[in-house]
Structure 1
Amino acid sequence: MRVVHLNTYHTTGGAAVAAGRLNRALNRFGVDSTLLVQEATYPDANVDALATSFLAQKMAFARFGAERLAFLPYEKDKSVRFQFSPAVTGVDLTFNSVIRQADVLHLHWVNFGFFSVEGLGSLMRLDKPVVWTMHDMWAFTGGCHHSGTCENYQRSCGNCVPFLRRPGPNDLSHSVWQRKQKAYEAAHLVPVGCSEWLANRARKSGLFRPFSVLTIPNPIDTELFRPIDKAAARQALGLPTNRRLILFAAAKVSTVGKGFRYFEQALHQLHAQLENPREVELLIFGAGDKGLLHELPFQYHFLGPLSDMQQISYAYNAADMFVIPSLAENLPNTIMEAMACGTPAVGFTVGGIPEMIQHRESGYLAQYKSADDLSAGMQWLLDLPPNDYAAIAHAARQHVLAHYDEAIVAEQYASLYESLVGGRDLPLL
């Protein structure tokens, strides 16, 4: 059985990381699995790229540009520029040999000029089962990646106040919704939510009403991300061994949705409440404007963007806690990575995060958009006696082993593929 995964990027973004991990996990499990991306960041086993020449790479960038320009006249303002994808440009893989040889097509995040809605429709008509792991809401909305409090996707979109300059019953979101409805008509499609939160939202969408939506989480290599001696991890990164370290990490620190301003507010409150704030320092990694860090009340260690997974594992192990104040999340890889290393997480009660963190058992769930409660969560972990902290760290690791270990997730997907190819009922996942 041959499975082909499709994702826009090879390594950039959470969906790319999750798709790559699943591809590797399936091959280790004995499934013939290939990841097909627009461009490969580096040579990688079982990864194929479409754009292997200079011209093809320029064409891929041109499709991305055309996609953004198509949305420009409609966008509400520049803050939503990358939060809505009309999917008007893309590649046609109908006659691609890798696609033709596949028994199962497995979609992940396919926006920014990789696939148009019509290109997805062409895949759906190839008479092959299609699994779609959703890393955000785009697959079942009229174009937005996260709808927030808007529930128009449950009907047929339209009146898209959060994202469009001129919302109305027949606006761009409604027309994209209709294009998707046509593309999905002949589909042998199984949508999969990485979190139960996302799967439940998908089940309410009019676009996915004909399909059975399953829930399977993203996988993680729990041998790579595992607890190691904290002092050794700090020494490897040149960090102090006599301080409590609070970790913040994001692909881009300044991205509004990552909630850095709530983190900053919470830190100021924490600094005012601590008896000896000099004992606490910050550890931050990710791309973005380092100038944002100058207003933080604690001394910080900025590692910049990290791509080496061993270095990332060291960073999680070096920290006493991981703080994720994101305003919209599905099933964050960062929480999974931190907890796998035995580092408790503090995050807002949003999206799939409450499925990952068990409040005061493996971490702390703060009230949504409450800097006060975020600060309380950090102080709670800092104040724990050593034995109680060790129990929280152990529970975090055990939750990952039980739910997200790559062998468990690979087996779930293999069972799904076999049922689709064999024409059997879908497994109860």
Structure 2
Amino acid sequence: MYKIVHINTFPNKATGSIMFSVHNELQKLDKWDSYVVWGRGRTPKDKVHEYNMQCGWEIMMHGVLSRIFDNTGFNSDYATERLLQKMEYLMPDIIQLHNLHGYYINVKMLFEWIKHRNIPVVWTLHDCWAFTGHCAYFDYANCNCWKNGCHDCVQKKSYPASLVFDNSKLNWLRKKELFNYKQLHLVTPSIWLHDLVKESFLKKLPCSVINNGIDTDVFKPSSINCHIGGKFKILGVASEWTPRKGLHDFIQLYRMLNHEQIEMTIVGLTSQQIEALPEGIRGMTRTDNIEQLVSLYQEADMFFNPTYEDNYPTTNLEALACGTPVCTYRTGGSIESVNEGNGFVVEKNELGEVKKIIEERLHSRKMGLHLDIDRKRISKEYMAEQYIKLYNDILL
């Protein structure tokens, strides 16, 4: 029986859902013994196969040190030591990494332990942090320093924020040395990120594209036709609405539309963002009520994703699976799940084009009922199959 340990920042959110989807499928197989580890979030439900490695003061200290010294990923020594003791006991045959930023783990300690024991690793990159000196994304800032060596970071105050020092040059060099490990196989959810990896200091490592998957038994069209009559409903969903997610564009679009014909809902806002919304836009905080979220997707006539930089957003998949067409900016991997049969791709900030699409859709809402989407290929089961095949290829 093969042992595998999955490591991620959270047990929930999009990356946590991906981690658990693979873990749950592995647990159904006799030849695999799967364990999940996360930095912060809920307490473990399965005391044997689940492990929460952090505690509150350590997360806070890691965050404070990162904001002073710009060294995210190189703190949390005590928490990492506890993790390595757990790993020493389990001694996995393979390790599956997800996000290693989030103020919970020391990547130097982790990779030194892995290298010393020569354990194969699969690392799913959910953003660009692994090959930059600071940021998780760089499109919004139009920065290419990551290709040859980060320095004088223009996004120092963006996540993972540093308010004092700029340590991007040293971070880049340390990551380059640590992560170039012969037993490391990278996975990207999008072709876009795969191509960026091949321009980075990780370019010599094997890299596979495995698209994110969702629960298509939960995210599915309504049995009731929700797309005929009434106001045209536009929906936006994000785990957090930072500037790169395009909240300003959503608001600007609303001001361009006929409010008597349009209903707009934005999910994932903070209470302060909701208070600042123009009258007429319905704002909601992030919801863990899946039934409510599914209903919002099903009832929407269009899902608008004005992201300026993204990997392979599962929100696009969730909307499509619920029978709702997607309109997204041409950015990152956001366009890779959208085609002429299920949505629209427009250039960044081309709100006039989005307005035109909405006005055309007002008079014809049939598209939301028969989308060109392969439900199997966007399912979490299909995604897990691809990961398990990769694990078998590496170990056998």
Q: Does the CA-based 8 Å contact 1:306-1:312 persist in structure 2?
A: yes
2:321 alignment partner in structure 1: 340
CA-CA distance at 1:303 after TM superposition: 4.4
1:414 alignment partner in structure 2: 388
1:2 corresponds to 2:3: yes
CA distance in structure 1 between the aligned counterparts of 2:311 and 2:111, rounded to whole angstroms = 25
1:217 corresponds to 2:211: yes
CA-CA distance at 1:18 after TM superposition: 2.5
CA distance in structure 2 between the aligned counterparts of 1:111 and 1:146, rounded to whole angstroms = 13
Aligned partner letter, 2:144 = E
Please list the CA deviations of residues 57-116 of structure 1 after superposition, one character each: whole Å capped at 9, or x if unmatched: 2xxx333333333333467xxxxxxxx835333413333147733221000012223222
Task: Give the % identical residues.
Answer: 23
1:49 alignment partner in structure 2: 51
CA-CA distance at 1:39 after TM superposition: 3.7
Aligned partner letter, 2:290 = M
Aligned partner letter, 1:4 = V
CA distance in structure 2 between the aligned counterparts of 1:151 and 1:263, rounded to whole angstroms = 28
Choose which of 99, 107, 114 in structure 2 pairs with 1:109.
99
1:100 corresponds to 2:90: yes
After TM superposition, the structure 1 = structure 2 runs for residues 156-235 of structure 1, keeping only pairs within 5 Å, are: 156-163=149-156, 172-206=167-201, 208-230=202-224
Q: 1:112 to 1:388 in 2, by over 3 A?
A: closer
CA distance in structure 1 between the aligned counterparts of 2:350 and 2:65, rounded to whole angstroms = 37
CA distance in structure 1 between the aligned counterparts of 2:319 and 2:35, rounded to whole angstroms = 28
Q: Does the CA-based 8 Å contact 2:277-2:283 persist in structure 1?
A: no
CA distance in structure 2 between the aligned counterparts of 1:151 and 1:281, rounded to whole angstroms = 39
Q: Does the CA-based 8 Å contact 1:319-1:343 persist in structure 2?
A: yes
After TM superposition, the structure 1 = structure 2 runs for residues 139-154 of structure 1, keeping only pairs within 5 Å, are: 139-148=130-139, 149-154=142-147
CA distance in structure 1 between the aligned counterparts of 2:102 and 2:265, rounded to whole angstroms = 32
CA-CA distance at 1:289 after TM superposition: 2.6
CA distance in structure 1 between the aligned counterparts of 2:369 and 2:355, rounded to whole angstroms = 21
Q: 1:414 to 1:388 in 2, by over 3 A?
A: closer
Please list the CA deviations of residues 188-218 of structure 1 after superposition, one character each: whole Å capped at 9, or x if unmatched: 1001111111111111111x13311111111
Aligned length: 382
Q: 1:128 to 1:410 in 2, by over 3 A?
A: same
Choose which of 217, 224, 233 in structure 2 pairs with 1:245.
233
1:324 alignment partner in structure 2: 305
Q: Does the CA-based 8 Å contact 2:73-2:104 persist in structure 1?
A: no
**Structure 2 unpaired stretches of 5+:** 159-164
Q: TM-score, normalised by structure 1?
A: 0.80
Q: 1:179 to 1:388 in 2, by over 3 A?
A: closer
2:23 alignment partner in structure 1: 23
CA-CA distance at 1:135 after TM superposition: 0.6
Please list the CA deviations of residues 255-283 of structure 1 after superposition, one character each: whole Å capped at 9, or x if unmatched: 22221110111121122xxxxx4232123
CA distance in structure 2 between the aligned counterparts of 1:242 and 1:171, rounded to whole angstroms = 53
Choose which of 333, 345, 361 in structure 2 pairs with 1:365.
345
Q: Secondary structure of 1:245's match?
A: strand
CA distance in structure 1 between the aligned counterparts of 2:152 and 2:284, rounded to whole angstroms = 43
CA distance in structure 1 between the aligned counterparts of 2:118 and 2:247, rounded to whole angstroms = 45
Q: 1:174 to 1:204 in 2, by over 3 A?
A: same
1:306 alignment partner in structure 2: 287
Aligned partner letter, 1:194 = P
CA-CA distance at 1:402 after TM superposition: 4.6
Q: 1:413 to 1:390 in 2, by over 3 A?
A: same
Q: 1:289 to 1:229 in 2, by over 3 A?
A: same
CA distance in structure 2 between the aligned counterparts of 1:282 and 1:22, rounded to whole angstroms = 35
Q: Secondary structure of 1:214's match?
A: strand
1:65 corresponds to 2:65: no
Calculate the aligned-residue CA RMSD, in Å.
3.0
**Structure 1 unpaired stretches of 5+:** 76-83, 235-239, 272-276, 423-429
CA-CA distance at 1:325 after TM superposition: 1.0
Aligned partner letter, 1:262 = D
Q: Secondary structure of 1:174's match?
A: helix
The 10-residue stretch of structure 1 (24-33 or 362-371) with the greater mean CA deviation from structure 2: 24-33
Aligned partner letter, 1:22 = V
1:258 corresponds to 2:251: no
CA distance in structure 1 between the aligned counterparts of 2:382 and 2:329, rounded to whole angstroms = 27
1:427 alignment partner in structure 2: none
2:161 alignment partner in structure 1: none
CA distance in structure 2 between the aligned counterparts of 1:287 and 1:387, rounded to whole angstroms = 30
CA distance in structure 2 between the aligned counterparts of 1:349 and 1:226, rounded to whole angstroms = 25
1:85 corresponds to 2:55: no
Q: Secondary structure of 1:251's match?
A: coil
Choose which of 123, 130, 135 in structure 1 pairs with 2:121.
130
Aligned partner letter, 1:37 = W
CA distance in structure 2 between the aligned counterparts of 1:117 and 1:218, rounded to whole angstroms = 24
Q: Does the CA-based 8 Å contact 1:29-1:411 persist in structure 2?
A: no
Aligned partner letter, 1:7 = N
